[in-house]
Structure 1
Amino acid sequence: MNKRIKGIAIASLQNHEHYGFVTEVKLAIEQANIDSLATLLAKFTPLVEEENKSLEIVAKSEHTHRLKELDRNRDNMFRGLSACVNEASYSPTKDEKEAATLIKILLKRYGNIISESFESQHSKTENLIQDLRSEKYAEASKKIGLVRWVNWLEQAETTFMELYRTRRDERASTIAGTRALKLIRKDLNGVYREIIEHLNALAVLQPSEALTQLIARINIHIDKLVALKANRSTRAKKSVKNSGNSTKEN
């Protein structure tokens, strides 16, 4: 059985792998209950907890990508609505053409709302929808088939604003002074190296059954991560090779 902690490039681990590993190391040390590790464990534990909180904040920021998609969708619904009105303005049918002209005047009043800020666009979109459903414009909207576009725009706007407000509230609740994840990981890696150096020294100077079991437990997690990284590297190389071998058909 290996009496030393195996090496691992802990800094190269992905965020979820890093947190999972240091958590397992912390639990293993706690359960081993080796007195000489108490001081290092006291330094290690709050950093693991801090990393967890930072990862939660990183996960919340993932709303940003989804928001961009939803913003593009509501913009497209407005473009579709405008295109529907514009198309109807060329209709040979007098009623449709007059209805389109009436609504075009309304749209001109609102301007290019998709260039506005999130909150401003939301306000103008809500007002536009109300106007299009009002007595003055409702019949004209029906004549040119605009009702479904109004409904689609409303749905897109509602979906966007729900997530926008969720992200805003989460940002407001973020604890002030939270450190960047990379800084937390750097500190964790430093304490981890101290722990490994201490354990490897103990294995030589003060070997014990508890220490042997602790080292074995940590090495099991290291072996899993090393295998995972190797598989990921192999897949990446195959992907590059396949990409290089692909040819375009003429």
Structure 2
Amino acid sequence: MAPSFDFPDQDGCALVIGGSGGIGQAICKALAEAGTDVALTYRTNGEAAQSVVADVEAAGRAVMALPLAVTDANAVAVARDAVIARFGRVHTVVNAAGSHIAMKFIGELDIEEFTRVMEADVHGFFHVVHALLPHMREKGGSFVTIGTTGLNRWPNKDGLSVIPKAANQALITGIAREEGRNGIRANAVQLGLIDAGLFRKLQGEFYDQRYIDAAIRNSALKRLGTAEEVAEAVLFFASHRARFVTGQSLTLDGGYSL
């Protein structure tokens, strides 16, 4: 299949970390429909990963799914090698993984809980960056991470989401500043409440209807976002359309942070 305008000269694939999640699935599908092959990782949900494989293949693109714990730096390097062996190149890395977290005030968090999330979300993303940067310097590429609008407006009891994403945002900024000379761009999409993925897992457990109604009431657009809207933002940053955009954050929260 000939490349599209979105990926006009990009051989290789986009690698989506956490591609089996609700948001990750939509990102994989959007990337495939825009004209690029896709590799995705998943932690435990192999069934969901195979559903994504079917979606990507239906869009006419090649795909592979790999089980991966990003906390294991050696496993990340092995996964990188497998993807490069299959596709020849990784031109885009999307970090769409996130830990299942408890909604607690900072003063209520215990050390083990905080350490577990930081290890998975911050160290894990750094392991991915560390493994892929040398490879991507050869021909350039793009990093996109999923962040949170909590960096703009603090949401009560959401420290386990906001704090690690703040670290990842700093990492994205550093990559953009240091690696632009190598043709590497780095950007972030900061999410509000999206009706997919982790939000659905936490709904009823931590997000009760009163919380959701208040969030909708406090947003300008008066609704939740969708996984497809997140995927469109990620696709823009990853694609040739954003070839002169780096070090930026797009806030996708329906105006919650205004």
Determine if the TM-score, normalized by the shorter chain, exceeds 0.5: no
The answer to which structure has the higher helix fraction is 1
TM-score, normalised relative to structure 1: 0.27
Larger radius of gyration: 1
Q: Which has the higher contact order (CA 8 A, sep 6+)?
A: 1
